Amino acid sequence: MLDHCLTDLDRDGGGLARVELRHPDGGEGLTLWADETYSHLMLFTGDPLPNAARRSIAVEPMTCPPNAFRTGEGLARLEPGASSTSAWGITPES
């Protein structure tokens, strides 16, 4: 079971953090990438959920740590009319 938040992410020269997921036989897979505005990655498997014989994982790019609305840690505060831009995506691999 996973329910972990990761930070201090390794990044490439363009500032992207990457998570590579591959089929166990070494075949197809995918890469999730996130720009530098995403400081955390949440990893979760549904194993503890009722009737959850799952073989999957959720990977969620996050701009702040869990419970940030309660603690205020890492929150981006925007003034009225201000904006913020972030980018993430998934690239299939074969």
Tens digits of residue pLDDT in 12-59? 999 999 999 988 888 899 999 999 999 999 998 877 667 666 667 899
Question: Within a 10 A sphere around the Cβ of 9, how many other Cβ atoms?
Answer: 16
pLDDT of residue 3: 86
Average of pLDDT values for 45-74? Answer: 84
pLDDT of residue 25: 85
Average of pLDDT values for 50-78? Answer: 87
How far apart (Å, rounded) are the C-alpha atoms in residues 92 and 33?
11
How far apart (Å, rounded) are the C-alpha atoms in residues 79 and 66?
23
The residue extents of the domains of the chain are 3-69+87-93
